[in-house]
Amino acid sequence: MLESSNRSHRISALGAAAVAAALGLQGCIVQPAPVYAPPPPVYSPPPRVYAPPPPPPAYAEPVAEVRIAEAPPPLPDYEQPPIPEPGYLWTPGYWAWGPEGYYWVPGTWVSPPRVGLLWTPGYWGWGGGVYLFHAGYWGPHVGFYGGVNYGYGYGGVGFAGGRWVNNSFAYNTAVTNVNVTIVHNTYNETVINNVSSRVSYNGGTGGVAAAPSPQEQMAAREPHVAPTAPQLQHVQDAGRNRALLAKVNQGRPAIAATPRPSAFSAPSVMPARASAAARGAPSAGGAPPAGGAPPAGGAPPAGGANPNGGVNFNAGAAHPGTSNPQAAYAKPRAIPPGQQQKKVQAKKPAAKQPQEKDRKRDAQ
């Protein structure tokens, strides 16, 4: 009985050992080696490639900014003020149109938008029965400006007042007013200009007969730059100054040229002088000669034909009903023949008196 009990215990022990061994074998099963997975990459943006902004659209000056049926007055004659500082370029004055008629935009020295650019002045041109104003612009070459003789290097074709040399502007002292003790980048090149007309427009009756040359046509197709902000402000300020109205100043503004844009009260402001016809042709290079007092009242000199076809600038509206807008200007009133005769007769007695005295003296 005891032996049977021991056998049962041994079998139980062996069973327990077998179960334990089975459980142990389960715990020793070899697990597969873990596969290395790198951590997710940190996000990095793609490298930035610089792309320049698109260039601004090329400036295209208006073909006809203003259309008027009335001819602009003749260009006033004035001295060029001295250049205020190196790097400034001359922009000639011109007649602009406003609500009260033509007004003078004084010539002035301005800073160009960037190195290498030259100014092409605006001009009035006849076409389609009206006068069209073609706005000025900056560009690498001077284009067509109607053949108008603005003076001081702008003799009707191109510009002879200076040129760009590398990154500096050299001034031609033969036709520009520069102080060589301050401005050292200068040269002297004589410019022959036989044009003495002060006509301010192209085409039509009495206008300048000029057409664009092949070089000027090429310049018109080049990229252009609009007038600078000081230039635009200069025009606006001139339009608000009643003294610059042609009907007020009779074509001879007291502010004909300024040293800087809108500097209408600067000490070196230049007034208009007598017309070129009263003194003769301009000097070489288009710079008008000095001297000559203006006629009283601003009227044209006697015997001097007005190249623009009239002297009465007291017209504030266009004249679309006239085939020749110049006919709207009043002609200078001539002295009636009777008055001319009276003046001549009044001088005759004064001429005889010395002769009678001489005869009496000889008789004695």
Q: What is the CA radius of gyration of the chain?
A: 44
Q: How far apart are CA 77 and CA 79, in angstroms?
A: 7
Burial of residue 294 (CB within 10 Å: 0-12, 13-18, 19+) is: middle
Average pLDDT in the 163-192 region? 95
Predicted confidence band at 133 (pLDDT cuts at 50, 70, 90)? very high
Lowest mean pLDDT among 5-14, 60-69, 107-116: 5-14
**Structure tokens of 269?**
């402001």
pLDDT tops 60 at residue 108: yes
Lowest mean pLDDT among 106-115, 149-158, 290-299: 290-299
Closest CA to 68 of 129, 25, 12: 129
pLDDT in tens, 186-198: 999 999 877 678 9
DSSP string covering 284-298: GGGPPPS--PPPGGG
Average pLDDT in the 248-266 region? 97
pLDDT tops 70 at residue 274: no
The single-letter DSSP state of residue 352 is H
Task: Please give the model's pTM, rounded to 2 decimal places.
Answer: 0.63
Question: Mapping DSSP to helix (H, G, I), strand (E, B) and coil, where does residue 191 land?
Answer: coil
Q: How far apart are CA 353 and CA 347, in angstroms?
A: 11
Q: How far apart are CA 304 and CA 198, in angstroms?
A: 12
Average pLDDT in the 333-356 region? 39
Average pLDDT in the 358-364 region? 43
The single-letter DSSP state of residue 226 is P
pLDDT in tens, 51-89: 666 655 555 555 455 788 999 999 999 999 999 999 999
The whole-number pLDDT of residue 66 equals 77
Q: Where is mean pLDDT largest: 17-26, 193-202, 270-279?
A: 193-202
Average pLDDT in the 288-311 region? 35
pLDDT tops 60 at residue 45: yes
User: Which has more pLDDT, 338 or 189?
Assistant: 189
Close Cβ partners of 343 (under 8 Å, ≥ 6 residues apart): none
Q: How far apart are CA 210 and CA 195, in angstroms?
A: 13
**Identity (one letter) of the amino acid at 191?**
V
User: Contact 299/311 with Cβ under 8 angstroms?
Assistant: yes
Predicted confidence band at 24 (pLDDT cuts at 50, 70, 90)? low
Q: Give the percent of the chain with pLDDT over 90.
A: 53
pLDDT tops 50 at residue 347: no
Q: HEC string of 88-136?
A: CEEECCEEEEECCEEEEECEEEECCCCCCCEEECCEEEEECCEEEEECC
Q: How far apart are CA 205 and CA 124, in angstroms?
A: 13
**Identity (one letter) of the amino acid at 246?**
A
Sheet containing 201-202: order of strands = 66-68, 130-134, 123-127, 201-202
Phi, psi of 119 (to 5 degrees): -95, 130
The whole-number pLDDT of residue 351 equals 43
Lowest mean pLDDT among 217-231, 245-259, 271-285: 271-285
Closest CA to 135 of 127, 126, 125: 125
Maximum pairwise Cα distance, the chain: 211
